Structure 1
């Protein structure tokens, strides 16, 4: 009978320790807050890359995809995340749909909040740096505003 009590106690301890890590992400996987920020910025970068400006009315899909790859790599560099770390983390989140849903809902809420906070079309005469700070408040070091024009390229850094 004593053996049964010890076995039951050991089983309960294992069960308690196994349940204790339910809200944690494994080592090597980005935590939900960081994954949310990276996915948000990647989403914005992709939208920016898909945007066709009036000076380039026709852009081939392959060029657009290369532009998006460049922006995406710069977003990952901005957050100090390697491509491997991101793909591993994203695969883990895909394997845990409830966690991925939570992250994607936060991304969507953040983008909607930024859209609602962005100036309306009447305020588009404001300087580009001001408009851009509303959308990308932490990316001032990564911005390139060309001299004498109002060209905005938020994910391209100066090449030295």
Structure 2
């Protein structure tokens, strides 16, 4: 019976050591807070790329994807993370869905907070472009925008 008790205790200790803390991320991977900040920036870069492409001459998707890769590399440089470390961490998070869920919840909360900070587009202090959207859903297509090349149509440009 003494050997059974030792085997049971040893098994229990090994089981507890294997489980570890379910909320922790190993030190060799990017921690949750930093990973969520990186993913927020990547999400914003992707949205920016889509918006710029919609406002200007639409780019082929392959060209837009190449631009996004440049943005992503700049974001990783900004956060002082190599592509290799990011991919290793991202793959680790993919294999641990509970921790990936925590990261994406932080990303979603951050983006929602940023969106709420902007306020309601129909409010008086919102940029004209947003106020017009509440009255004219296709206002962007009908009005000239500052990003446009033809700010003054029908006026010959001087060289």
TM-score past 0.5 threshold: yes
Unaligned runs of at least 5 residues, structure 1:
126-149, 152-160
Q: Does 1:124 align with 2:135?
A: no
Q: Is the alpha carbon distance of 1:55 and 1:6 closer, same or farther for their aligned partners in structure 2, counting shifts above 3 Å? A: closer
| Matched pairs, number | 127
Q: In 2, are the aligned partners of 1:25 and 1:31 still within 8 Å (CA)?
A: yes
Question: Aligned equivalents of 2:14 and 2:49: distance in 1?
Answer: 50
Aligned residue in 2 for 1:129:
none
Question: Aligned equivalents of 2:94 and 2:20: distance in 1?
Answer: 22
Question: Aligned equivalents of 1:115 and 1:105: distance in 2?
Answer: 15
Aligned residue in 1 for 2:84:
84
Q: In 1, are the aligned partners of 2:25 and 2:31 still within 8 Å (CA)?
A: yes
1:25 offset after TM fit, Å? Answer: 1.6
In the TM superposition, 1:28-107 aligns within 5 A as 28-52=28-52, 56-107=56-107
TM-score with structure 1 setting the length:
0.68
Over the aligned positions, Cα root-mean-square deviation in angstroms equals 2.4
TM-score with structure 2 setting the length:
0.68
1:37 offset after TM fit, Å? Answer: 0.9
Aligned residue in 1 for 2:154:
none
Aligned residue in 2 for 1:19:
19
